[in-house]
Amino acid sequence: MYHYINSDRLDLEAIHNITSTNKKLKLADESINKIKKCRAYLDEKMKTHSEPIYGINTGFGSLYNIKINGTNLQQLQENLVMSHACGTGEEVPQEIVKLMLLLKIKAISFGHSGVQLSTVERLIDFYNNDILPVVYTQGSLGASGDLAPLAHLALPLIGLGEVYVKGEKFATKKMLEQFSWKKINLQSKEGLALLNGTQFMSAYGIFTLLKAYKLSYLADVIGTISLEAFDGRIEPFNELIHLIRPHNGQLKTAKRITHFLTDSKLITQPKTHVQDPYSFRCMPQVHGATKDTLTFVTKTFLTEINSVTDNPNIFVEEDAIISGGNFHGQPLALALDYLAIAVAELGSISERRIYQLIAGLRGLPAFLVTNPGLNSGFMIPQYTAASIVSQTKQYCTPSTIDSIVSSNGQEDHVSMGANAATKAKKVIDNVTTVLAIELLNASQALSYRKEKTSPFLETFVKAFREDVPLVNEDRVLHNDIKNAENFIAYLNIEPSDLF
């Protein structure tokens, strides 16, 4: 089963489908023709053009004025890849590296980058055979694209660096021998085509977006379980009040929660309280604002991953090679900062619901155990959630507001989008844990209610109980939290419910 790389736009559902079904990639004839035509144009141009063309027959960055002799152009490109492979820190998760490959293949297949067909085909070979270069999280300013991470992504093309082959790490040389491949001899412009670009930021952005949509859905489900466990009221989810403040996310959240509560006996039983705390009755407004943010961020990233982001850009029909700044990560940096803040709010309001559930209110036992005192019950999971929420706030300090000059002043404003990208993933991981703790608390609290919740929520909690049994007396809750995280991670949700 193949996904054909052509001019069709990639969207989140397509990427979800490609990655979840392990589709292989294949170049469509349209893309093959564009790649060949652009490369032929550049080769012909280099035969007749003696003037400097940035990055093709010159040095890079502040060395842009140094012209390189034609006999050294291959070495120029290989030197570029080697010298820029300066990544440090942790290794980028392999699933994100695979997304980097997909997005780089897409970007250089539009026919404006001047790459050889063999270069693109080798990247596709890497993708299809789960050969994933070792890339590091630190080193990109998100300005001339993601130079250091993309250099590590490109190293195996020239026989250098390390790769994972189906999860096992090898020196690239050994991998090439295993597959009977020779290294790619990079031609003029190819090093820049591979290193300029925003595929590190973009891959992190798409990865976190897919996770964020899932967390947004689960925050609604888990928040509704908490509402039921807290004996909450249904009136705040009445469509009438949302139609007079019709933010799309707010409307969607209220509608979704109302649907989750269909045929619940618990939500309709008589209430002794007139109002619920904000963390329950304002779920449409808070969760909904996150949904609207995801919509904005999605628009930004879908534009980006269907764009050409290297430099210079080659326009065959117009007979033009133009050096510009499509590699600058500012749109992504701002979107990633915004995404982190929006997802963090799902964790913040979740922790408040956790606190309400253990407070001994509305007929629930203190700390959700029948023998509090002898048992501490769910006292400390709330501590853990509070600690994580506080750390998440620190991760949400915007990266975009910072800029450090580089390349001897030539690259004098940078986006810091790569730092925003890695922080956004940390926020996703943290909020996943907080929601897992809320699910642990909410499902436990629900067990103290005599009336039944809705069939949908009953089924959801029953599935959760197979992984995490009720807590009758104190035990090591670390294990329950990890099992709750795994339940969330492996829960399969239909794309139609996510996007």
Q: What is the mean pLDDT of residues 107-131?
A: 97
DSSP letters, 37-54, are HHHHHHHHHHHH--S--T
Question: What is the C-alpha to C-alpha distance for residues 201 and 186, in angstroms, rounded to an integer?
Answer: 24
Question: What is the C-alpha to C-alpha distance for residues 197 and 107, in angstroms, rounded to an integer?
Answer: 8
* DSSP, res 184: P
Write the single-letter amino acid at 184. Answer: I
**What's the maximum distance between 2 C-alpha atoms anywhere in the chain?**
87
46: confidence class by pLDDT, cuts 50, 70, 90: confident
65: confidence class by pLDDT, cuts 50, 70, 90: low
- The share of the chain scoring above pLDDT 90, in percent, equals 88
pLDDT at 12 over 60: yes
Question: What is the C-alpha to C-alpha distance for residues 411 and 408, in angstroms, rounded to an integer?
Answer: 7
Q: Please tell me which residue in 2, 4, 54, 164 is annotated as part of the active site.
A: 54
Sequence-distant (≥ 6) Cβ neighbours of residue 165 within 8 angstroms: 129, 130, 131, 175, 178
The pLDDT of residue 449 is: 97
The pLDDT of residue 62 is: 56
Tens of pLDDT, residue by residue over 320-345, are: 999 999 999 999 999 999 999 999 99
Q: Which domains does the chain have, with CATH numbers?
A: 2-197 (1.10.275.10), 204-498 (1.20.200.10)
Strands 131-133 and 162-165: antiparallel
pLDDT at 61 over 80: no
Residue 204 is among the residues annotated as catalytic for this protein: no
pLDDT at 270 over 80: yes
Tens of pLDDT, residue by residue over 354-413, are: 999 999 999 999 999 988 888 999 999 999 999 999 999 999 999 999 988 888 877 889
- State both tokens at 359: 């407070």
pLDDT at 50 over 80: no
The pLDDT of residue 144 is: 87
Q: What is the mean pLDDT of residues 68-80?
A: 77
The pLDDT of residue 268 is: 97
- State both tokens at 453: 């919740």
pLDDT at 76 over 90: no
Question: What is the C-alpha to C-alpha distance for residues 347 and 344, in angstroms, rounded to an integer?
Answer: 5
- State both tokens at 478: 């670390």
Query: What is the pTM assigned to this prediction?
Result: 0.95
pLDDT at 107 over 90: yes
The pLDDT of residue 240 is: 98
> Which of 85, 208, 211, 182 lies closest to 136 in space, CA to CA?
85
Q: What is the mean pLDDT of residues 431-455?
A: 98
> Which of 329, 324, 268, 24 lies closest to 146 in space, CA to CA?
329
The pLDDT of residue 70 is: 59
Q: Are 355 and 438 in contact (CB under 8 A)?
A: no
What is the Cα Rg of the chain in Å?
26
The pLDDT of residue 68 is: 59
Strands 162-165 and 168-171: antiparallel
The 3-class secondary structure across 91-135, one letter per residue, is ECCHHHHHHHHHHHHHHHCCCCCCCCHHHHHHHHHHHHCCEEECC
325: burial class by Cβ within 10 Å (0-12, 13-18, 19+)? middle
Tens of pLDDT, residue by residue over 197-255, are: 999 999 999 999 999 999 999 999 999 999 999 999 999 999 999 999 999 999 999 99
Q: Among 74-78, 304-308, 458-462, where is mean pLDDT lowest? A: 74-78
Q: What is the mean pLDDT of residues 128-144?
A: 96
69: confidence class by pLDDT, cuts 50, 70, 90: low
Write the single-letter amino acid at 253. Answer: T
Question: What is the C-alpha to C-alpha distance for residues 309 and 5, in angstroms, rounded to an integer?
Answer: 17
- State both tokens at 429: 């991981």
Q: Are 438 and 382 in contact (CB under 8 A)?
A: no
- State both tokens at 152: 């590590």
Question: What is the C-alpha to C-alpha distance for residues 126 and 98, in angstroms, rounded to an integer?
Answer: 9
Question: What is the C-alpha to C-alpha distance for residues 30 and 71, in angstroms, rounded to an integer?
Answer: 32
- State both tokens at 270: 């008589």
* DSSP, res 310: S
Question: How many degrees, rounded to 5, is the angle at CA 236 between CA 234 and CA 241?
Answer: 130
Helix (H) or strand (E) run with residue 479 in it: helix 477-490
Sequence-distant (≥ 6) Cβ neighbours of residue 272 within 8 angstroms: none
Helix (H) or strand (E) run with residue 168 in it: strand 168-171
